């Protein structure tokens, strides 16, 4: 199998992390980077289902900030017709 041959894939799941959320305050930048990543995945994996995870809750980051990021991920998922998984607060 060559470098660019990934075989047949039915589902690709991307997991976003929140490790640098405390230092990344520009939510539009995060949304833009996610949009580019997922649009590229959509081109590379034309015949598979793309699933993107939302951010999970962390004690050191406010739920409001995580929710604001997840709102942007939701916009990307809707724009690119992807599936978005988000854990709600509780």
Please give the average per-residue pLDDT across 69-86, as a whole number.
Answer: 88
The rounded distance, in Å, linking the Cα atoms of 21 and 13 is: 21
Instruction: Give 39: exposed, middle or buried? Use CB within 10 Å, 0-12, 13-18, 19+.
Output: middle
Instruction: Give 52: exposed, middle or buried? Use CB within 10 Å, 0-12, 13-18, 19+.
Output: buried
Domain assignment of residue 67, yes or no: yes
Domain assignment of residue 64, yes or no: yes
- The pLDDT, as a whole number, for residue 61 is 74
The rounded distance, in Å, linking the Cα atoms of 55 and 76 is: 14
First to last CA, the chain: 45
Domain assignment of residue 35, yes or no: yes
Domain assignment of residue 81, yes or no: yes
Domain assignment of residue 1, yes or no: no
From 21-25, 67-71, 75-79, the region with the lowest mean pLDDT: 21-25
List the domain range (segments joined by +) for residue 56. 23-85
Question: Which of 73, 81, 87, 84 lies closest to 32, judged by CA?
Answer: 73
The three-class DSSP label of residue 77 is: helix
Please give the average per-residue pLDDT across 58-68, as a whole number.
Answer: 78
Q: How confident is the model at residue 90 (pLDDT cuts 50, 70, 90)?
A: very low
Domain tally, the chain: 1
């Amino acid at each position: 199998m060559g470098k660019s041959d990934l075989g047949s894939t039915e589902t690709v799941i991307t997991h976003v992390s929140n490790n640098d959320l405390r230092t990344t305050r520009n939510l539009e930048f995060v949304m833009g980077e996610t949009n580019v990543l997922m649009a590229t995945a959509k081109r590379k994996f034309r015949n598979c289902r793309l699933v993107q995870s939302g951010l999970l809750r962390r004690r050191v980051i406010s739920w409001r900030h995580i929710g604001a990021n997840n709102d942007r991920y939701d916009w990307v998922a809707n724009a690119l017709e992807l599936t978005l998984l988000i854990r709600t607060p509780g």
